[in-house]
A and B are shown apart, each in its own frame.
Chain A
Amino acid sequence: MTESLQDIKNEILTLLPDLRAFARSLARDATRADDLVQDTIVKAWSNFDKFQPGTDLRAWLFTILRNHYYSELRKIKREVEDPNGVIAGAVPVAARQLDHVALADFNAALATLGDEQREALVLVGASGFSYEEAAAICGCAIGTVKSRVNRARARLAEVLALGGEHKIATEGEASAARGH
């Protein structure tokens, strides 16, 4: 490794806002998301000899973070499965104009996506990775990422804009789905 510790530290610092946003999209709960970021930093630091200079540090950190998220998820699956149906029950439906769909409803709709779909959607649609980069981060084929993104978008469109047949989430339910 040719970079100084100071450089590595500074690079990680500049990537933190992005890492936190990605972690939040996976874990939803803000505290849990920041714990994920913290663990990611520790793992990245102790494995920095495995980072290939010249490759994208951001993608490397994202990969560590999502792999850690899934391994934690397997460990604590019971807690995450939403036993009370709080998240599942908060599916908003809205036969409303798009402008009137609250951010809380959008977050609740995001929460109804499976982890793999949400992760693909966020990596491509918000973090700005290419399909190819997202596929490398998720350890799957490019076509798989494309289809997950498409299904995620279709599902959100369905949940948010079909309307009439489901109940509208109350603010309380939507907040619960955001994990606050």
Chain B
Amino acid sequence: MTDKDPSAVSNAKNPERRSGDQKERLEWISKQLRRVYDDVVREDVPDRFADLLKQLEEKEKGSR
């Protein structure tokens, strides 16, 4: 394993870009975060939860 990743070269050529990129980087992070989160939000919710809620509801009805 080498110390330097070959793709580091592109950044090394433009060191002045790095601080200017900070804002862009933070925006990118926010976007990725929402993407990761929304990917889960969009998943189908497993049936176990609807089944559980139905069970709880029926149990409660029965106890009244």
List A residues at the B interface (Cβ < 8 Å): 5-6, 9, 12-13, 16-18, 20-22, 24-25, 34, 37-38, 41-42, 45, 93-98, 101, 103, 106-107, 110, 121-122, 125-127, 153, 156-157, 160-161, 163-165, 167-168
Chain B residues near A25 (CB-CB < 8 A): 36-37
Secondary structure of the B side of the interface? helix
Chain B residues near A97 (CB-CB < 8 A): 10
**Residue interface bits B1-19, CB-to-A below 8 A is 1, else 0:** 1011101111110000010
**21 A–B pairs (Cβ distance < 8 Å), ordered by A:** A5-B57, A6-B57, A9-B57, A13-B49, A17-B40, A20-B40, A20-B41, A21-B38, A25-B36, A41-B56, A42-B52, A45-B60, A94-B5, A94-B7, A95-B12, A101-B32, A126-B38, A157-B22, A161-B25, A163-B8, A164-B8
Secondary structure of the A side of the interface? helix
Residue of A nearest to B50 (CB): A13
| Chain B residues with a Cβ closer than 8 Å to the other chain, count | 42
| CB of B61, distance to nearest CB on chain A (Å) | 7
Residue of B nearest to A118 (CB): B33
Choice from B5, B29, B48 contacting A95 with Cβ under 8 Å: B5
Chain B residues near A95 (CB-CB < 8 A): 5, 7-12
A106 touches B52 (CB 8 A): no
A160 touches B37 (CB 8 A): no
